[in-house]
Structure 1
Amino acid sequence: MRTRMRMAAILIMVLCLSLAAGCSIFGGEAVEPVDSDISGTIKVMYWDEQSFMNKYGYLFMAEHEHMDIEVVSTSKLHSYSPGEVPDLNAAYHKLIEEEKPDVIMVGIDELERLAADGVLYDLEPAIIRDKFDIANIHPTIIEYLRMKGKGKLYALAPTFTSQALFINKDLFEKHGIALPSDKLSWEELFLTAMRFPVTGGDKGRIFGYDNGEYRNTPYNLLLTVADAMGLKMEQQGKVTLQTPSWKHAFELVAQLYKSGVVQVGDLPKTPDMSYTEMWMLDHLFQAGRVAMTMGDPDMLKDLSQIDEAEGERTFNWEILNAPTVSSGQSRNFELNEVFAVNAHSPNLEAAWEFVKYSSGDEIARIRSRNPDEMWSRTTHMQTKDSKNMEPFYQLSFDRNEMPANSRFAELPQLLETVITTELNEVVDGRKSVEEALAAIELEAQVQLIQLNAQTE
């Protein structure tokens, strides 16, 4: 009996010593107990210091008066000589090694790599210990981050970007066209757009569809549709364009431009036009001349400002869910800032305190009033300009998504000229879709070889 009691006492002492040393009985280092008077300076990776302070820093330090933040700017990653082909991935890892930030801002593919290399701290134990509410963070975002962490949650993402379909209800009514359903496919969207007239001069004619500022070209629309369908130009170092899926995407875009319901190029401007008049020619939906367009919350701000300037609502508009694809599994959102704790940080608790705050309820309550920011925490989802924001929160992703190959990330940009040329050939009836895809794939293979040579 005494022997058993002695062994039990020894076991308790061992457990207590282990916990006091910050070790978990389940293996690995544990997060130390919360200290309400956490102090000191932490390093946080971000785009630049001023934008960080405006968005997070001042609010965080107002809540944590004994803590200070040093910003490790990632802007230096984009400083390189003209003609130089930078290895951004290598530069990113070098920045982490040299600056040793406590909080790492990670791209979604870096999240996978850094987690696999043991650079990132598993947040789950701290979340459980602090009873930190992740139930009100968009479940699709949490699921996506866990998938990228191979089942573990290594990071949180305070904000995201998504798009919805904006429609001009007045134009639909004027031309006797039924309003589209809230779950439109890309094929249905384009067919609806092609029901609008294509007559009229530059000053007054309307357009069935517009892909948005700077994106209203055949090249950009093809990338928009292909991305929605989960299509990639490169798979495991090989170009894959001559497939039924790419052919379908190519045919959809070519058919739409052939119909004439999309404005191609810039509308002509004259020296006597005001700034507002010229701006409206570059933003045709906001000007009331487009039936449907894809847009992010920035569009809400534009429309609201126009109505305020006019003193009344210029036209009736609505927000619908973004077009879907048959699989329904393509990723239709981007995570703007993904914050993770450096597993080798000497300030684990302070670093976690920032990550927790940046995805917490208080900052979402304050910042969600800004109409052009989408916060992952849905508790404070706003109704903006009397419009329901739910379409922006209809998020999905491909659960079989493969990590992007950063070596070939610029391939689509390198192919802009050939894609534009070949699409125009199809639109003008001089080439078949099959011939155009073959020509693009040939050029893509050349560019792929050159990218391989540059990074070896």
Structure 2
Amino acid sequence: MLLGLTLALLVGLLAACSGGSNESSETRVLRIGVLYGGSDNEPYFRQQYTDMYEMMHPNIQFEIVGAINYDDQRFQTSEPGKQPDQPDPYEKMKEMLTGQNPVDVVVFDYNMLRRMTQDNLLTQLDPLVTQDKFDLADYVPTVIEGIKSAGDGNLYALTPTFSSSALFYNKKLFADAGVTPPTDKMEWQDVFNLARQVASGEGENRNFGFSFNRWSSDGFNDTQVYSAALQLKMWDDKGEKMLVNSDEWEGVWSSVASLYKEKVVPTHEFMNQLNQKIGEDGGTDPFYGDMFIKGRVAMTIGDYGYINELKRAADNASKIKDYVPVDWDVVTVPVNPKDPETGGNIYLSQLMGINSKAQNDKDAWEFIKFTNGKDWAKLKSRSVYEMVARKEFLKPIGGLQYNMDAFTTLKPLPPTSSDADNIWRDKPGIWEAQQPGYELFQEVINETKTAREALTEWETRGNAVLEKLKTDPTGGGGGVEVMPMPR
């Protein structure tokens, strides 16, 4: 009886680990295509996504295929002054999906989704979801709606995780100023006006109202953040004509320049002075210039992982001289008044789809179901840097209390152009058309030029560069080497 009971329990356990007794014992290969392969990337991907599934399904063998070998790119050499060959990521992915031995599952970034659906490279998942009654009811709306919007309302991929940003704000600074804190879906101009109200103090005691990121920045880069959120372009989709001389760009430059002139945002000069004083006093800065965590900035845009940094600072406050932890909360990032449901800080970088030419589409769907299922989400919900796509398992980090919905409410911004990456690769010298913007924006801050005058000059100088690139895509200087980075 004991032997029989032991065998019965063992059989049940094996059945559970193998995904069910109806699963075939025949060994099958499931080919997964990723953008960058290589000796470092493949082990990482297996650890994150396939090792557990392979243990539970011993009859499935995974083959990870990289469209571009990162090692080849990293160690590639070229002649002096000559731009190294830069493969087209999308075309390489397409080759991997349509070649003689196509992959079954493809893992890709959101900016490729629309092109893949338009080129009929992916299998529509809606019928499979309905057929298997795969529950997507608790999927984060940001994720599911963002995916469908790139597929004309249809589902061609799923992602188990995503990353997002929010507007962090300091409760104490708002309370001290007697100003109402920010709310979800505030327009950019409203946030700027709020920042003006809460900024206070003079000299080294100045508290700032806003920062476009956690670190001090130059004004031109801030205009790039703001213009991207408004879906503005520097040049057209072919990289042949500058688009900066417009009312919309003038509004961006005028707004950001006024923040600097009114000392609403911290400057490099202020940070240098602060760091110099810390050094003269014989101290060190454990926060590396992060002005929000120091309690000196009322609002800043930060990603989900920033919560962990704030928590660590609070947990170690007793070790830091004169440090008072920030009492903070979050709301959604500022929105474009023309599209208040969309934000610029949602990243869907691990989309999983089934190749329309998959040789093993059944196992491909089973794998996607597993990695996008509730059990997997529950396990991965412990991450402090990424968020799982199932809302049921989105819990505040470390028992903290904050507005979790701020990270999940807005839809991701669609790419401004499906060919944006191609321009930087095909015309590596195009960075020269951007360069005048740095000095010209500083002239706007210094009030030696108006925003429109500076943009008009940028248009002229930028167009001269773009014209030159028609005959020499490198701009005569060999271009700037752009190396792909592994995830």
Q: What is the TM-score when the length of structure 2 is the normalising length?
A: 0.77
- Structure 2 vs 1, CA of residues 181 and 117 (structure 1 numbering), >3 Å: closer, same or farther? closer
Q: C-alpha separation between the residues in 2 aligned to 1:107 and 1:215?
A: 29
Q: Counterparts in 2 of 1:302-381, with a 5 A limit? A: 302-310=309-317, 314-327=325-338, 328=340, 330-332=342-344, 333-381=346-394
* Conserved? CA contact 2:185–2:333, under 8 Å: yes
- Structure 2 vs 1, CA of residues 59 and 186 (structure 1 numbering), >3 Å: closer, same or farther? same
- Alignment length (residue pairs): 421
- Structure 2 vs 1, CA of residues 187 and 278 (structure 1 numbering), >3 Å: closer, same or farther? same
* Conserved? CA contact 1:168–1:315, under 8 Å: yes
* Conserved? CA contact 1:329–1:399, under 8 Å: no
Q: C-alpha separation between the residues in 1 aligned to 2:84 and 2:464?
A: 19
Q: Counterparts in 2 of 1:10-409, with a 5 A limit? A: 36-37=23-24, 39-46=27-34, 47=36, 48-73=41-66, 76=69, 78-79=73-74, 80-81=76-77, 83-84=83-84, 86-89=86-89, 90-96=91-97, 97=99, 100-195=102-197, 196-197=199-200, 199-201=202-204, 204-213=205-214, 216-237=217-238, 238-265=241-268, 266-267=271-272, 269=275, 277-310=284-317, 314-327=325-338, 328=340, 330-332=342-344, 333-384=346-397, 385-396=400-411, 403-409=418-424
Q: C-alpha separation between the residues in 2 aligned to 1:308 and 1:375?
A: 25
Q: C-alpha separation between the residues in 1 aligned to 2:280 and 2:442?
A: 31
CA RMSD between the two structures? 3.3
Shift of 1:316: 0.8
Shift of 1:415: 4.9
Shift of 1:72: 2.5
SS in 1 for 2:63: strand
Q: C-alpha separation between the residues in 2 aligned to 1:278 and 1:154?
A: 47
Q: C-alpha separation between the residues in 2 aligned to 1:215 and 1:98?
A: 50
Q: C-alpha separation between the residues in 1 aligned to 2:173 and 2:103?
A: 53
Counterpart of 1:23 in structure 2 is none
Q: C-alpha separation between the residues in 2 aligned to 1:156 and 1:454?
A: 41
| Stretch deviating more after TM superposition (428-437 or 321-330) | 321-330
Shift of 1:319: 0.9
* Conserved? CA contact 1:193–1:261, under 8 Å: yes
Give the partner amino acid of 1:322: V
Shift of 1:68: 2.8
Give the partner amino acid of 1:224: V
Q: Percent identity?
A: 25
Deviations along 1:95-129, one digit per CA (max 9) or x if unpaired, are 55487332112233432333333322222222222
SS in 1 for 2:333: coil
* Conserved? CA contact 1:247–1:437, under 8 Å: yes
* Conserved? CA contact 1:87–1:455, under 8 Å: no
Q: C-alpha separation between the residues in 2 aligned to 1:276 and 1:49?
A: 43
Shift of 1:414: 5.0
| Stretch deviating more after TM superposition (422-431 or 37-46) | 37-46
Q: What is the TM-score when the length of structure 1 is the normalising length?
A: 0.81
SS in 2 for 1:50: helix
Give the partner amino acid of 2:272: L
* Conserved? CA contact 1:138–1:378, under 8 Å: yes
